[in-house]
Amino acid sequence: MSVTHDARIQVRSAASTAQRQAARGWPDINNPAAWIVGAILLIMPLIANGFFLIEIFATTLILGTIALSLMFLAGYGGMVSLMQLTIAGFAAYMVAVFGVSANTNISLGWPWWLAVPMALMLATIFGTLGGALAVRTEGIYTIMITLAIGAAFYYFTNQNWAIFNGHTGINTVSTPHFWGVDWRWDIPFYYVVLAVAALCYFAVDYISRAPFGLALQGVRDNPRRMAALGFNVNAHRIAAYAVASFIAGLAGVLQVWNYRQISPGSVSVGACIDVLIIAVVGGITRPIGPYIGALVFVLLRTFALDFLVRIGLDGNRFRLLIGLGFLAIVFWSSDGVIGLWQRWRQSQGRQADRPGGGHHG
């Protein structure tokens, strides 16, 4: 019980901070930091080599978008879903199954522009059905049901050979070629990923101030009152799962293009939980949080290994570093890195105010 209770309180108190910047316009349009980050992301291929571009930044944006779908559900809707990676993985599998791959006995060989919409549609249906099961519960039971769906899918992919090709998965998945461009080349692929991530980010930000998003936050804060205002609370929650599933599905398509293969290891229970860690470390009150969390996670995963080997430890212990970082952030800030940043900004603001106040006196 206490776990549920704590989780809900955390979501709520975090949510109220998010509302403070409740301007009706675009929140970041006057924020110079946002413009600088946007510009750096746009000119990244000039700065970063292929490794950084794909292994660090594209991977961050893909994982961040999966975590964004969790942030949408948890931050605005108060529903912690552990199946977001599963939905992304399902979309990835569907791209491989309907599209072209080396496993010709399984892949149907559809062109990408047919396979991708099909994969997105099926992933959205899958996530919506999972959501329809989960919305009948609250708190820890939502977590358990979605985790069970994730675990069931993982074991199913391991054991099913007809569609999912068992533990070997589907390999050498083909990626789009058109207008004379191989879109899996590092630079075009980076821009595709950036465009999709930006689209999802702005869509979530936009919806949060539209009636649907406001109502979702109302459902999080007081479902009973929402029903007394004429809202069908469960329908609203299920619709939120549909939106989140579509976002996770988009990220799943990018993921299978990134690695050109998909296997059960990519949809393991551990990976499902990584998405939760990413979202919480970054902060689940604002859409930027999951991307910050994903960057921290990818940097640690990539470089902690070298670092640990250099100081004479087993490189596989990088998860220990992630775990310690996770503990530290959750301990000092219930709202992840965003929360730490905001508190630092506020303390700076107070210091700046003090001499200013002197003038009046």
Partner 1 sequence: MDSVAHRLSAVGAGAALELRGVTRLFGALAALTDVTITVRPGERRAVLGSNGAGKTTLFNCITGDFPPSSGTIRFFGEDVTHFPPYERIRRGLRRTYQISALFPGLTVQDNVYLACCGVSRGRFSFLRPGQNDALMHAADALVQAVHLTAVKDQRVAELAHGQQRQLEIALALAGAPRFVLFDEPAAGLSPTERAELVEILTSLPAHIGYIIIEHDMDVALRVVESVTMMHNGRIFKEGLPEEIQSDPEVQELYLGGGHE
Residue ranges binding partner 1 (CB under 8 A): 12, 15-16, 18-20, 22, 24, 206-207, 209-212, 214-215, 217-218, 221-222, 224-233, 236, 239
Q: Which lies closer to partner 1 via its Cβ, residue 152 or residue 210?
A: 210
Backbone angles phi, psi at 88, to 5 degrees: -60, -45
DSSP assignment string, 48-83: S-HHIIIIIIIHHHHHHHHHHHHHIIIIIH----TT
Placement of tokens 């604002």 in the chain: 286
C-beta of residue 77 within 8 angstroms of C-beta of residue 211:
no
Look at the block and give the residue holding tokens 């050979």.
161
Helix or strand run (H / E) with residue 146: helix 140-159
Q: Which residue has the tokens 């929650």?
A: 237
Supply the minimum distance, in Å, between the C-beta of residue 267 and partner 1. 29
CA atoms within 13 Å, Cβ hemisphere of 267: 35
Q: For residues 201 and 68, is the Cβ–Cβ distance under 8 A?
A: yes
Strand, coil or helix: what is 262? strand
52 versus 212: smaller Cβ distance to partner 1: 212
Q: What is the DSSP letter of 137?
A: S
Nearest residue (CB) to partner 1, 12 versus 167:
12
Chain-centre distance of CA 174, in angstroms?
24
Quote the least distance from Cβ 204 to partner 1, whole Å. Answer: 11
Closest CB to partner 1 among residues 232, 316: 232
3 state SS of 103: coil
| Rounded least distance, CB 14 to partner 1, Å | 10
Q: Which is nearer to partner 1, 20 or 350 (CB)?
A: 20
Q: Which is nearer to partner 1, 108 or 233 (CB)?
A: 233
C-alpha span between 324 and 307 (Å, rounded): 15
Beta carbon of residue 253, minimum distance to partner 1 (angstroms, whole number): 22
Q: How far is the CB of 209 from partner 1 (least distance, A)?
A: 5
The nearest distance, CB 224 to partner 1, in angstroms, is 7
Min dist CB 334 to partner 1, Å, is 15
Strands (E), the chain: 177-178, 181-182
Minimal distance, residue 230 CB to partner 1, in Å: 4
Least distance CB 26 / partner 1 (angstroms):
10
Query: Which one, 224 or 350, has the nearer CB to partner 1?
Result: 224
C-beta neighbour count of 106 within 10 angstroms? 16
Residues 292 and 185 sit within 8 Å (Cβ to Cβ) = no
Is 353 exposed, middle or buried (CB count within 10 Å of its CB: 0-12, 13-18, 19+)? exposed
Q: Which is nearer to partner 1, 12 or 136 (CB)?
A: 12
Q: What are phi and psi of 262, to 5 degrees?
A: -145, 130
Q: Look at the block and give the residue holding tokens 């009636």.
A: 211
The three-state secondary structure class of 302 is: helix
Nearer to partner 1, 75 or 99 (CB): 75
Q: How far is the CB of 328 from partner 1 (least distance, A)?
A: 27
Q: CB-wise, 194 or 238, nearer to partner 1?
A: 238
